[in-house]
Amino acid sequence: MNTHCTLYEILPEEATRLVANDPEQFYRLRRELHGDVPNEDDAYVGLFSLIRVQFLNLDLDSMFGSEASDSEEMSAVEPSPREIFDLGEAWHGLHYILTGDDLSADPPTLLDFLVDGGDHWDWGEYGYRFYTPVEVAELSSQLEAVPAILFKEQFQPEQMKNVHPKSWGEEDALEWLIESFVRLRAFLRTCAEKESGIAITMT
């Protein structure tokens, strides 16, 4: 099965609300990114899973009150002008290059971000993983420091048999990984410069 990786920019004001565990912001992002609107039962399950607390006092008046203006209602459904980066199937190969392993560390380090780590949101089959603007800035800095020679040193097709998509013997495989890394690094640099967070998912 082909597994693709997509990274979404989380705008600064959204990230601030997510860090503050704002349930309405979770709903807005879920509607936009995942494309579903949870029913009442799923909503309660999703909230407890997403913000990972034992007890949550829901302010139903503020969440479902009738005092919201038309502009506020429109802002809840209008898509945000966010950057979206489709990394495709290069995610596992880049993880291997960056970490030297096909699996993540336990616990995950920041450079494990393509396969594990971050704040997990249980949406859909694979879920989403959120990184704060501070984490994105640090991650961008680490990727900027990756030397080109690392790719030649780490790219060993005979040792990458468990690395998706397992076609590393092809002539242009290394070039494809390097090009994917350059685009990923540029995406994270843009997010860091805008003080945005990111969300990562697989499909």
Whether 80 and 11 have beta carbons less than 8 Å apart is answered as yes
Residues of the chain above pLDDT 70, percent: 78
Total structural domains within the chain: 1
Residue with tokens 């860091």: 192
Convert the pLDDT of each residue in 160-195 to its tens digit: 999 999 899 999 999 999 999 999 999 999 999 999
- Residue 48's domain comprises 5-202
pLDDT at 42: 53
d(CA 2, CA 196): 29
How many Å apart are CA 59 and CA 72, to the nearest integer?
17
Which pLDDT score, from 0 to 100, does residue 35 have? 80
Residue range 68-114, pLDDT digits in tens: 444 454 444 455 589 999 999 999 999 999 999 999 999 999 999 99
CATH classification of the domain holding 31: 3.40.1760.10
Residue 60 has pLDDT above 80, yes or no: no
